[in-house]
Amino acid sequence: MKQVSVAFYATLNGKLSFADRLVSWWTKPRNSSTSKTFTHVELRFGSQSTTSITQREGVVHYEESKLLQSKNYASFLTVQVEPQQYRDMQQMAVSFCENKVAFNTRGMVCNFLPILRCCFASSGQDDAGFYEQVFCSQYVVLLLQEGGFVSWLDPAHTTPNDLYEALKRGQEGFREGFNAKLFKLMQESGHKLALPRGLG
């Protein structure tokens, strides 16, 4: 078995654009299981690498050592997967990176704000169904669906908060994860990581 983790940020580099703040605030479930408002989400492939999408660079991959430098992680949800699921998700991530899929700013804002959603919503797909643009939670949901998870979610209309709530329900086998190195780093910096029960 292999391990895949979804990493949730409570802030992104300590700075949020007005659009990030507005969408995060507007879309946070009112009966949320956490007091945090998540603004970004990434997918980790075991301890090998992490894949994400940024507004500046589009889809990116980096080593775990770089991931552990961030103090913005608020929660990890982890699941065990079969090797074929792991490969399918990795291949899709590599394909998005190689095709230079860009960040879907319009989709991130317009897909979630009712006054804009009716006229300007964007899936980021071209006429042939290929993705040219995605935003972070859309990207992670697409990868999870490639691995056979969260089939009921609409990627183009799922926020980091929505994804967190969906995975926390436990239907897909995701559990709160823990990384000792990250925990030590965050203790030293004064930041708090949401810990699994029994560890906090």
Reported as a single tens digit per residue, the pLDDT across 93-109 is 999 988 899 988 877 77
Q: For Cα atoms 90, 65, 83, give the angle at the middle one, nearest 5 degrees.
A: 25
pLDDT at 144: 96
Contact in structure between 103 and 58 (CB atoms under 8 Å): yes
pLDDT digits (tens, 9 = 90+) for 56-84: 888 887 766 555 555 667 788 999 999 99
Contact in structure between 164 and 158 (CB atoms under 8 Å): no
Q: How confident is the model at residue 200 (pLDDT cuts 50, 70, 90)?
A: very low
β-sheet bridge partners, residue 82: none
Give the residue with greater pLDDT, 3 vs 188. Answer: 3
Its pTM stands at 0.78
Tokens 């908060």, residue located: 161
Query: What CA–CA distance (Å, rounded) separates 48 from 94?
Result: 14
pLDDT at 9: 82
Single-letter amino acid code for the residue at 63:
E
pLDDT at 23: 61
pLDDT digits (tens, 9 = 90+) for 7-46: 888 764 456 566 666 666 666 665 655 667 788 899 989 8
Tokens 């995975």, residue located: 167
Question: Has residue 154 got a pLDDT over 80?
Answer: yes
Question: Has residue 183 got a pLDDT over 70?
Answer: no
Could you write out the DSSP letters of every residue in the chain?
-EEEEEEEESSSTT---HHHHHHHHHHS-TT-SSS----EEEEEETTTEEEEEETTTEEEEEEHHHHTT-S-EEEEEEEEE-HHHHHHHHHHHHHHHHTTPEE-HHHHHHTT-HHHHHHH----B-TTS-BSEE-HHHHHHHHHHHTT--TTS-GGG--HHHHHHHHHT-TT--EE---HHHHHHHHHHT---PPPTTT-
End-to-end CA distance of the chain: 27
